[in-house]
Chains A and B, each alone.
Chain A
Amino acid sequence: MDSVEVLVAHIQDLSGNPVELAHLHAILKQSEDTLRVQASRLVPFIEQLDPSSHSLGYLFLLEAYSSGPILRENISSFLACVVGFINFCSAEQIRLAPDKFISVCKRFKDQVIQHQVPIQGVAPLRTAVRKLQSSYEQLTALHSDFLFLCLLSKCYKAGTSVLDDEVLEIDQPRDFFLFCYYGGMINIGLKRFPKALECLHNVVTAPMSTINAIAIEAYKKYILVALIHLGQIPSLPKYTASTVLRSLKSYAQPYVGLASSYATGKFSELEAFIQTNVEKFQTDNNLGLVKQVLSSLYKRNIQRLTQTYLTLSLQDIANAVHLNTSKEAEMRVLQMIQDGDIFATINQKDGMVSFHEDPEQYKTCEMIDQIDSSIQRLMALSKKLTAIDEHISCDPAYITKIGRERPRLDFDDFDSVPHKFL
């Protein structure tokens, strides 16, 4: 009992400047076990501390408290306490003990999910992510939890704030896999298919020594999104891990089949295929996407017509893409014009559709701005690339490895005539 009081006093005294904080950190680490033993009685002490100025001590106490079982009647106060802490804590102090902070947040996430109020966790976790990361390029362990909560609460928009950052620094491969997988799902929810495709592609092509479940699920979704967005599956690049290349297809059999019947462009065939495999898609929770694939086939076929025709009657369109009525075809075409997928006008008087070329002339100021920003981005990127290249070529580990692979030059190696010609 005494020791906790002493500790609180220390915390209150030593939270002023970095030197003191380092000292405090050491003390806190030593008393970790004591705190854990006393976990259930820590609430009054926590209340004595100020989350903004005593963040580090507060964090340790909170972590010790949350590691024990939390009584039902205390849940709401615990949640409020964590939310308050996340909002007010000082970023410098918590970064001294990121493990503790992550553990508190994960515990918080579990509680939120357990009590089926994931939406309550979205905003605090977003703040937590921002406070924990030192730059926008860093991927923290909390990223995937945050996206998971977004998915559960269907707050897809909230997730985009994190997804739009360019994540480059990664600590844990697992975090990265989950981050990209959930990110892909959120982008699917928002119908931002190119982004979703990129996220899922990242999972599938990430280096890995053994295939994992996340990659398999991601590949299934990757196939579906690729069909919706591109109408075909791009082949995986050659830097994909060889284990993945070898076994991925066998794990995603029905999806590969789906893609091949999609490629025939026949609506009835695709529908029949989906019907026979409906259970598999259902168990993978991908049936919704599969249905989108089906309806995207109409779109794809109509788009193909725009390549060949200038004008076509609605009835002909309906016949060509196997729609039942010209009315239905009209709705489809209308929808596609609205989405900007095709450029066309419908003449309702004689039921004709005239297709136009893409009106974009690449002459507007906006377009030039866009091109310019694109150039700027690429220049920054290539600078970064050069810097990293330089960094790697100076890395001692890299140089020794390269040196080992290339046999040391020996004077005897310099034969005047190469061996194979002798």
Chain B
Amino acid sequence: MNGEQMDIEAYAALYTGRTKVLRLLFIAEQCGNQSMQLEALRMAYDEIRKGEDSHLYRQVVQKIDAGLGPHYELDHSWADAIDRRAEQRKEKLENELNSYKTNLIKESIRMGYNDFGDFYYAHGQIGDAFKNYVRTRDYCTTSKHIIQMCLNVILASIELGQFMHVSNYVSKAEQTPDSLDPITVAKLRCAAGLAHLEAKKYKLAARKFLETGPELGNNYSEVIAPQDVATYGGLCALASFDRTELKNKVIDNISFRNFLELVPEVRELINDFYASRYATCLDYLENLKHNLLLDIHLHDHVEPLYTQIRHKAIIQYTHPFISVDLPTMASAFKTTVAGLQKELEALITDNQIQARIDSHNKILYARHADQRNATFQRALQTGVEFEREVRAMLRRANLIKHDHNQRGSRKL
């Protein structure tokens, strides 16, 4: 395993709430390293004990499978107590809600549903929580309520993996008439960025993350840490932006720089990419890769993002030259000449690089399309096509006419 070992303790400290537990469990599942796995599970166990989700608790205990000593075995009394308390609380909430409903006080009904949502969320029944949060919508009276409702729904949807809902409710929240406070704006930007990321729209995702204000701080730790904003945004931007955009929107972006300071590797790699130091840039990427694969949101997108970044780097490398020496380029990209040739071939076939490879002398030559010849060719081609089309059309018209005549004569 290359890349430095992940510091789970530090990582977990960035988050609160359910996402912390889920992220830890995700790491335990993916890391494939026993000591790390147990470490992650231990912290997840501790975290769950603070909450009320007995179902998740039993799962984690099963996963630990007595690997952490007697202290981390199934505590029946705790779990049962939690369950019992949940039962009582649910009953109480139901009674309250019913009485609110008979009294028809909008605000109370909203509160009732909201409490229900919170309750279900705490107990890990996210689907029910989502439903209850959505129900509060009909009883929102001020835009503050709407914002709260939207944030709750977004939180539940993210955990459910329903990113369509996330972007829906982000736009709903942004449409409220009152101006939002900067923290909420930053939260919404992050959620929208996540939704775009999951939909593989990396450019849009990059934009959203880059627009995230520094006010975010640790205010949204139940979903995302500022470090993540820097990583997600940086990688998406590298994969999808062109050079000028990269300069204007990332490197010269003062508010985003605050985020980048938190993750110096990403900052360095973006600067290296911009300064065309591809070898070090790829090194950084390689080092980061292992940790990124352990990220609950990013892991699916690491490969496509990396390929896109690599392609971008290759294209950018070849762009200014008329001819490129392949061995030099291969060393810059830490690969063999044959491998590089394959990558270039794919890019040329895709029409992303206008060049041709001299495989004998291992040189790449840029190819400049001859406008004049191309125009002639196209004009002749169009002429031929036009002629064929018109003739075929006349023929079809004649056939139709014939058919018409025949039908007419039959009628007579």
Chain A positions near chain B (C-beta within 8 angstroms) = 166-173, 176, 198, 201-202, 205-207, 209, 239, 304, 307-313, 316, 350, 352, 354-355, 357-358, 360-362, 370-371, 374-375, 377-378, 381-382, 384-385, 388, 397
Contacts and interface: CB of A to CB of B under 8 A. Distances in A.
B246 to A, nearest CB: 28
Given A307-B348, A362-B373, A378-B383, A388 B394 contact: yes
B374 to A, nearest CB: 10
Contacts of B395: 167-168, 170, 176, 202, 206
A351 B396 CA distance: 53
Contact of A205 (B358, B365, B392, B400): B392
B399 interface: yes
Interface in B326-372: 344-345, 348-349, 356-361, 365, 370, 372
B412 to A, nearest CB: 13
B396 A173 contact: no
B380 A169 contact: no
CB-based closest 7 A-B pairs? A311-B360, A362-B376, A310-B358, A308-B348, A310-B356, A311-B358, A170-B398
Given A202-B395, A205-B392, A377-B387, A311 B359 contact: yes
Given A307-B349, A309-B357, A358 B387 contact: no
16 contacts: A167-B395, A172-B402, A176-B395, A205-B392, A207-B403, A307-B356, A308-B357, A309-B345, A309-B358, A310-B356, A311-B360, A313-B359, A352-B360, A371-B380, A377-B387, A378-B383
A360 B373 contact: yes
Contacts of A311: 358-361
Given A307-B349, A310-B357, A374 B383 contact: yes
A202 B392 contact: yes
Contacts of B1: none
B207 to A, nearest CB: 34
A170 B405 CA distance: 12
B8 interface: no
B345 A308 contact: yes
B387 A239 contact: no
Contact of B349 (A308, A310, A350): A308
Contacts of B85: none
A243 B392 CA distance: 19
Contacts of B376: 362
Given A205-B392, A354-B360, 20 more contacts: A166-B391, A202-B392, A308-B348, A308-B356, A308-B357, A309-B358, A309-B359, A310-B357, A310-B365, A350-B360, A355-B356, A357-B370, A371-B379, A374-B380, A374-B387, A377-B387, A378-B386, A378-B387, A385-B394, A388-B394
Given A308-B357, A313-B359, A381-B387, A362 B349 contact: no
B373 A170 contact: no
B397 interface: yes
Nearest to B358: A310
Contacts of A168: 391, 394-395, 398
B392 A173 contact: no
Contacts of B396: 205-207, 239
A409 B397 CA distance: 30
A239 B380 CA distance: 24
Contacts of B387: 374, 377-378, 381
A360 B370 CA distance: 11
Nearest to B392: A202
Interface residues of B, number: 36
Contacts of B275: none
A170 B391 contact: no
Nearest to A395: B401
B228 to A, nearest CB: 40
B71 interface: no
B403 A385 contact: no
Contacts of A239: 396
B399 A170 contact: yes
Nearest to A360: B373
B388 interface: yes
Contacts of A354: 360
B10 interface: no
Nearest to A239: B396
Nearest to A305: B345
Given A309-B359, A311-B358, A358-B373, A198 B388 contact: yes
Contacts of B104: none
Contacts of A360: 373
Contact of B391 (A308, A355, A374, A381): A381
B356 A309 contact: yes
Nearest to A350: B360
Contacts of B379: 371
Contacts of A173: 399, 402-403
A170 B402 contact: yes
A309 B372 CA distance: 23
A313 B403 contact: no
Contact of A169 (B345, B349, B398, B403): B398
A132 to B, nearest CB: 18
Interface string B283-296: 00000000000000
Contacts of B13: none
A371 B398 CA distance: 29
